[in-house]
Amino acid sequence: MGKDVSASDLLAANDALLLCTGATRPRDLPIPGRDSDGIHFAMEFLGKWQRRQRGDEISPISAEGLDVVVIGGGDTGCDCIGTSLRQGAKSIVSFEILPQPPEARAGDNPWPQFPRLFKVDYGHEEVAVKWKEGDPRRYNTMSKEFLRDENGRISGIRTVTVAWTKDPATGQWKMAENSDSEKTYPCQLALLAMGFLGPEEYVKNIFFSLIIALIVFSLFSYAIQQLGLERDGRSNIKVKPSPVNGGSIPHTYATSTEGVFAAGDCRRGQSLVVWAISEGRQAAREVDEYLMGHTLLPVPGGVIHPKAQSVRKAASVAGFRPAVEKEDGVPVSPKKAAFEAPPANDYRARASRRQ
């Protein structure tokens, strides 16, 4: 989309578009030596290994016999640790620039906020068991430079430790490097797992992309540009707020462009798969209501009465659909929509509905 098929043509050929492209644009680490060989984004490393495990004829990025440094925590960083261990890494260390989380809730992290607590996941535990050196994570550690050998491959990472202080006036946290804290870690494979910045940029600036990677990243943003979609402050696709104040759904899935919807990570930012499943279902409900004038699909935590479901199915089999009438250009409420026979020449009647 955006390259072989323009987004505008795709919208013209369909009644509605639902964008579920994810938010897989990774955060980079632009420090000296970044162009050294052996530095990879976490999803590149994990993706190739999974494809190889699936049986694809592909050469994975291997950690066998190497000193591995994973920069960044979270679930993705833990997966990098576990995969490197299974591949036969020589050593594994993980850098986290933030302090180690507390064992219990801090005063500024009350319920019902998500608890920011120290936890040991499978990757951390397995490394500790294998090498008897404890947790592989190094907190308050900032990477300063990627070192490389005469062949241009990464050979180590120069780091410093940092201290965090809270400004009593503003409440903001400030970071400062600790003096005499420099340390160099051996490393022949660095994996960047520092989170994601939003939807891929492969739809935005195709005309200024100079290399293959940038062309791939630019296609999606170019399609977003073609569709005229707005973005929020985190570069995710912006949707409209819910017209029902105080309801269980604080937002819609409708974008700034008529007939275009967005759900999942490309709307909310990088998150868990359970959120993607939930948003996909609720976006489908909203698209159904947009096209049909009403919907019987369930709301979050809701169910559909079997009788209501059978009535709709019978109407569909009979070749009827709910009419979406307009009064002064405004769609009437679903309760006022009546069933009508579809046009003989075009069941979906795309053109008439758009008008």
The 10s digit of each residue's pLDDT in 120-134 is 999 999 999 999 888
**Domain stop point among 192, 208, 230:** 192
Mapping DSSP to helix (H, G, I), strand (E, B) and coil, where does residue 142 land? strand
Q: Which of 258, 287, 220, 169 is nearest to 5 (CA)?
A: 220
Provide the pLDDT for residue 81: 97
Q: Are residues 290 and 321 in the same domain?
A: no
- Asked if residue 79 is part of any domain, the answer here is yes
Q: CA 204 to CA 24: how far, in whole Å?
A: 15
The two three-digit tokens of residue 58, written as one number: 């592909």
The CATH code of the domain that includes 102 is 3.50.50.60
The answer to whether the CB of 211 falls within 8 A of the CB of 192 is no
**Cβ density class 32-70: b for 16+ within 10 Å, e for less:** ebeebebbbbbbebbebbeeeeeeeeeebbbbeebbbbb
β-bridge mates for residue 158, sequence order: 145, 184
Q: Which domain holds residue 273?
A: 1-21+199-304
Q: Are residues 251 and 309 in the same domain?
A: no
Q: Are residues 170 and 263 in the same domain?
A: no
Q: Are residues 154 and 67 in the same domain?
A: yes
Q: CA 200 to CA 186: how far, in whole Å?
A: 32
Q: Are residues 245 and 331 in the same domain?
A: no
Q: Are residues 165 and 48 in the same domain?
A: yes
**Total domains in the fold of the chain:** 3
Provide the pLDDT for residue 220: 54
- Asked if residue 250 is part of any domain, the answer here is yes
φ, ψ at 137 (rounded to 5°): -80, 140
- Asked if residue 29 is part of any domain, the answer here is no
Provide the pLDDT for residue 59: 92
pLDDT digit string, tens, across residues 83-140: 999 999 999 999 999 999 999 998 888 998 888 899 999 999 999 999 988 899 999 9
- Asked if residue 228 is part of any domain, the answer here is yes
Residues whose CB falls within 8 Å of the CB of residue 128, separated by 6 or more in sequence, listed in order: 134, 135, 136
- Asked if residue 113 is part of any domain, the answer here is yes
Q: Are residues 98 and 186 in the same domain?
A: yes
Q: Are residues 156 and 75 in the same domain?
A: yes
The pTM assigned to this predicted structure is 0.65
- Asked if residue 134 is part of any domain, the answer here is yes
Q: CA 146 to CA 31: how far, in whole Å?
A: 7
- Asked if residue 31 is part of any domain, the answer here is no
- Asked if residue 144 is part of any domain, the answer here is yes
Q: Are residues 210 and 185 in the same domain?
A: no
Q: Are residues 203 and 298 in the same domain?
A: yes
Q: CA 335 to CA 152: how far, in whole Å?
A: 68
Q: CA 253 to CA 86: how far, in whole Å?
A: 41
**Domain stop point among 175, 192, 209:** 192
What residues of the chain score a pLDDT lower than 50?
Answer: 202-219, 247, 318, 320-326, 332-355
Residue reference for tokens 């759900």: 263
**Domain stop point among 192, 208, 227:** 192
Q: Are residues 254 and 289 in the same domain?
A: yes
Q: Are residues 317 and 280 in the same domain?
A: no
Quick one: how far is CA 303 from the chain centroid? 28
